[in-house]
A and B are shown apart, each in its own frame.
Chain A
Amino acid sequence: MRVLVIEDYELLRDSVSQGLREAGFAVDAAASGEQGLRYAQSGQYDVIVLDLMLPRLDGLTVLQNLRQEGSPSHVLILTAKDTAADRIKGLNLGADDYLVKPFVFEELLARVHALVRRKYAAKSPILRIGDMQIDTVARTVSRAGRRIELTAREYALLEFLAMRAGQLVTRTDIWEHVYEFHSDAQSNVVDVFIGHLRRKIELPGLGRLIHTRRGQGYVLGETP
């Protein structure tokens, strides 16, 4: 899943970005409203973490622009203002969630996860595909009751596929949602990672779950 962090205070921006990356998200960080808007317009982000008190172009204006342009990203607002009026304003302008500074990072993480689930209309934190069970909160994967250890990247990729289980996911989709903006664009990197993932989850004795649609992409499901 891809997250954009727009926050001008460096320490906060860096810490949140690092924390989200370590939790398996692909994170891009912007230090100003203008930069953030540029990134958001050019990339598809699942969640945008937006600070309201930005210099020059303030957060609410960025939010308005995003919504006017029809951005499908879910927006979580970070702000030091905690009055109800501010919360209402932010939500009415199109924010999906609201967190007051200072916050517990775990909570930010949980809310971002919730927004991702919402985006993919997965109400339950447990995803079940065939005999595979993915706990999106605990970030664990098991098949037929046996735990499978994945790296953060692998998990992110699997979760992305699982969120759209049964749907075709193109390489471009995977690339844009799971890998960061500034990474080198090599199309077979996706294939390589899918291969890694397959090796881990499609153990001998367990059925195939990741199906290739030649020339198009991949589908996660019991049947191709």
Chain B
Amino acid sequence: MTRSLRARLLLGTTLATTVVFFVAAGILYGTLRGALLAEFDNALAARAQALASLVEQNEREIKMDPDPLASNLGKGASQDYFAIWDEHGKSIAQSDWRAGTNGLAAPPTKGSPERASFIRLPGGGRGRRTVLFFTPKREDEETTPPLATFHQACLVLVRETEGLDRRLAQLAWVLTGVFGITMLVSAATMAWVVRRGLTPLNALADRIHAIGATDLSERIALHESPQEMLPVVQRLNELLVNVESAIARERTFTADVTHELRTPLAGLTAALEVCGSRKRQPEEYEQAIGKCLKAARGMHAMVENLLIVARADANRLHPQYEPVNAGWLLQEGWRPFEGRAAARGLAIDWTVADDLLVQTDQSLLRIVVRNLLDNAATYAGSGGRICIEGRQADDRIVLRISNTGSQIHSEQVADVFKRFWRGDAARSDVDQHCGLGLALCRRIVTLLEGTISIDTVLGGTFCVTLHLPAKC
């Protein structure tokens, strides 16, 4: 079946109308033919009756009265032939007929159908034959007494149907002609109607084409679309919304990454350029290398964090839940910062319950823990204290990481969770943080169906509390 909607519609409607018209034409032809034949047969029957009335019988015989009218037989528009027999098959009278005319050669048996029928005439042509069984009237009916027994006679009348046939043929041709023209006109009309009807599809195709890749803010107007296409158009609009927001997210991510990486990159290149601008002592080179390495690592961590945030935004972050020992995770997460804490003279308080099990995604929770411990080790004032707590409370586990020397005001708590927000960076002895940490932590914790909150007093303790469902 062809893939073109228009062709299919056209084919279907044309086929249907052809069948309908064909049937209608057939019925019409049949009806008209029946009427014509009935008319003919009536005339034929009348003629037969007229002939039969010329036949008389008396005691001895049945004979036909040669009527001057009878000699008119055979003249006129169509040629008539007749033959009359008595009940014993003896011929009483017959018209001039050509030898071998069917139906006139022998008398029909009584009981054969008396309806008119078509017969073939000798020498070609067609005729219509009617049979009449009748009882001839008494000769001189008015003056003589009725007979004891009345004998039957049989009349067979055949008339050429040339005229009739011609008229029937004309009728057939006219109907065929009308039928043909009607079909053509209807097919043409159908084609036009179908094409007009399908213009909304073409219009939709044009509209879609017009929505270029650069401007996805356009939507297809619903009021312009036909009812049948509404579901399609609505879905299309939804898809456009999704694509537009996906592209916007991607743009934001790319912009964020490039923007946030530019400063560390600038620092890196400036440090290397300045270091390399003249001959220096080995210690200076060592120092420079160390600083650059730190910066490079910081950028790496930032990119990783940004990727996770982007994935979380696109709802492509799917936690894999498994039983995790939160206490062990805290200890493992703290190890990289031990050196830094020791160097800064920080005291560490551990109050973590044993067997603190939680059903969660281990790698995601590890990221959160690492970020929080990193912040604590970084932002605690020199010689200060870090407290790491972990306990079970009903159906949740509570993790708390706090550090002294908070530089965040309690009113800034909302800001702290914002992306790329950086607190007061007037520290000379710590690494630069990209500010993505807490925003990422909150995103992940929300994904893990937990909560994260911050309590802080400027100059006092900065405390981050995590609540996670123990069982999922």
Interface residues of chain A, those whose CB is within 8 Å of chain B, are 8-16, 18-19, 22, 31-32, 35, 51, 53, 55-56, 78, 80-81, 100-106, 108
Contacts of A12 in B (CB 8 A): 263, 266-267, 270-271
> With A11-B295, A32-B426 in contact, is A22–B263 under 8 Å at CB?
no
Q: Is B251 an interface residue (CB 8 A)?
A: no
Beta-carbon contact of B269 and A102 below 8 Å: yes
**A112 CB to nearest chain B CB (Å):** 13
Q: Are B426 and A35 in contact (CB under 8 A)?
A: yes
**Which residues of chain B from 144 to 167 have any CB-CB distance to chain A below 8 Å in the complex?**
none
B264 at the A interface (CB under 8 A): yes
B residues engaging A (CB < 8 A)?
258-260, 262-271, 273-275, 277-278, 291-292, 294-295, 421-428, 431-432
Q: Which of B268, B277, B425, B428 contacts A55 (CB 8 A)?
A: B425
CB distance from B265 to the nearest CB of A (A): 4
On chain B, the residues within 8 Å of A102 by CB distance are 262, 265-266, 268-270
Q: B280: shortest Cβ distance to chain A, in Å?
A: 10
Contact yes or no, B267 A9, CB < 8 A: yes
10 A-B pairs within 8 Å (CB atoms) are namely A8-B432, A9-B263, A9-B425, A10-B428, A10-B432, A15-B273, A22-B278, A80-B262, A103-B269, A104-B273
Query: B-side binding surface: helix, strand, loop or mixed?
Result: helix
Pairwise interchain contact B262-A14, C-beta atoms closer than 8 A: no
| Contact indicator A55/B423 (Cβ below 8 Å) | yes
Chain B minimum-CB-distance residue to A12: B267
What's the least CB distance linking B287 to chain A, in Å?
A: 10
Min Cβ gap A149→B in Å is 15
Do B432 and A14 touch across chains, with their CB atoms under 8 A apart? no
The answer on a CB contact under 8 Å between A81 and B269 is no
CB distance from A23 to the nearest CB of B (A): 9
Contact yes or no, A14 B271, CB < 8 A: yes
CB distance from A8 to the nearest CB of B (A): 4
B426 and A31 contacting across the interface, CB-CB below 8 Å: yes
User: Closest approach, in angstroms, between the C-beta of A33 and any C-beta of chain B?
Assistant: 10
List residues of chain B with CB within 8 A of the CB of A55. 421-425
When distances are taken between beta carbons in the complex, the residues of chain B under 8 Å from A18 are: 274
Complex alpha-carbon distance, A182 and B278, angstroms: 26
B295: chain A residues within 8 A (beta carbon): 11
Q: Which of A9, A13, A81 has the most CB of B within 10 A?
A: A9
New A-B pairs, 16, CB < 8 Å, besides A11-B268, A15-B271, A106-B273? A8-B425, A9-B263, A9-B432, A10-B432, A11-B264, A11-B294, A14-B271, A15-B275, A18-B274, A19-B270, A35-B426, A55-B421, A55-B423, A101-B263, A102-B269, A105-B273
Chain A residue nearest to B294 (CB atoms) is A11
- Please indicate the chain B residues that have their CB under 8 angstroms from the CB of A53 in the complex: 263
The answer to whether B423 touches A11, judged by C-beta atoms less than 8 angstroms apart, is: no
Nearest CB in chain A: distance from B295 CB, A: 5
With A and B bound together, what is the CA distance between A13 and B262 in angstroms?
14
| B424 adjacent to A105 (CB under 8 Å) | no
Taken together as a complex, chains A and B put the C-alpha atoms of A181 and B68 apart, in Å, by 158
Q: Which of B258, B270, B424, B427 has the most A CB atoms < 10 Å from its CB? A: B270
Please indicate the chain A residues that have their CB under 8 angstroms from the CB of B267 in the complex.
9-13, 15
Give the Cβ gap from B19 to chain A, nearest Cβ, in Å.
70
